[in-house]
Homo-oligomer: A and B are copies of this chain.
Amino acid sequence: MAAGKSPRSPAAGERIVIAIDCMGGDHGPSVTVPAAAAFLARHPDADLQLVGKQDILTPLLAKHGLSLGKRVAITHASEVVGMDEPPREALRKKKDSSMRVAANLVKDGVAHAAVSAGNTGAWMATARYVLKTLPGIDRPALCSPMPNRTGGATFVLDLGANVDCTPDQLFQFALMGGALAAAVTHREKPTIGLLNVGEEDIKGNESVKATAELLKAAHAKGALNFFGNVEGDDIFKGTTDVVVCDGFVGNVALKTAEGVAKMLTDALKEELLANPVRKMGAAILTPALKSFKRRFDPGRHNGASFLGLNGVAIKSHGGADENAYSTAIDYAYEMVKEDVLGRIAAMVAASPIQVTE
User: Hey, which bits of chain A sit against chain B, CB under 8 A?
Assistant: 147-149, 160, 163-164, 195, 197, 203-206, 208, 231-237, 245, 247-249, 251-268, 271-272, 274, 277-278, 280-285, 287-289, 291-292, 295-296
A267 to B289, CA, bound (A): 10
CB-contact partner of A261 in B249, B264, B285, B292, under 8 A: B264
Once A197-B160, A247-B197, A287-B278 are accepted as A-B contacts, the answer to whether A253 and B271 lie under 8 Å apart by CB is no
- Taking CB atoms, residues of chain B closer than 8 Å to A231 are 251-252, 255
- Taking CB atoms, residues of chain B closer than 8 Å to A251 are 197, 231-232
A203 to B163, CA, bound (A): 9
Q: Would you give the shortest CB distance from A15 to chain B, in whole angstroms?
A: 39
Residue of A147, A203, A272, A281 with highest tally of chain B CB at under 10 A? A281
Number of copies of this chain that the complex holds:
2
A259 to B237, CA, bound (A): 7
CB-contact partner of A236 in B234, B248, B253, B262, under 8 A: B262
A253 to B252, CA, bound (A): 7
Q: Would you give the shortest CB distance from A158 to chain B, in whole angstroms?
A: 11
Q: Would you give the shortest CB distance from A261 to chain B, in whole angstroms?
A: 6
A262 to B259, CA, bound (A): 14
In the complex, are the beta carbons of B255 and A233 less than 8 A apart? yes
Q: Would you give the shortest CB distance from A242 to chain B, in whole angstroms?
A: 16
Q: Which residue of B lies closest to A274 (CB)?
A: B288
In the complex, are the beta carbons of B292 and A271 less than 8 A apart? yes
- Taking CB atoms, residues of chain B closer than 8 Å to A262 are 149, 233, 236
In the complex, are the beta carbons of A261 and B260 less than 8 A apart? yes
Q: Which residue of B lies closest to A258 (CB)?
A: B233
A271 to B255, CA, bound (A): 26
In the complex, are the beta carbons of B282 and A285 less than 8 A apart? yes
- Taking CB atoms, residues of chain B closer than 8 Å to A283 are 281
Q: Would you give the shortest CB distance from A7 to chain B, in whole angstroms?
A: 29
A259 to B253, CA, bound (A): 11
Q: Which residue of B lies closest to A264 (CB)?
A: B264
Q: Which residue of B lies closest to A203 (CB)?
A: B163
In the complex, are the beta carbons of A197 and B261 less than 8 A apart? no
- Taking CB atoms, residues of chain B closer than 8 Å to A237 are 259, 263
Residue of A249, A257, A261, A263 with highest tally of chain B CB at under 10 A? A263
A265 to B234, CA, bound (A): 16
Once A148-B263, A278-B285, A287-B278 are accepted as A-B contacts, the answer to whether A245 and B252 lie under 8 Å apart by CB is yes
Q: Would you give the shortest CB distance from A197 to chain B, in whole angstroms?
A: 4
Residue of A164, A206, A268 with highest tally of chain B CB at under 10 A? A268
- Taking CB atoms, residues of chain B closer than 8 Å to A148 are 263
Q: Would you give the shortest CB distance from A274 to chain B, in whole angstroms?
A: 7
In the complex, are the beta carbons of A236 and B252 less than 8 A apart? no
Once A164-B206, A284-B280 are accepted as A-B contacts, the answer to whether A252 and B296 lie under 8 Å apart by CB is no
- Taking CB atoms, residues of chain B closer than 8 Å to A263 are 147-149, 236-237
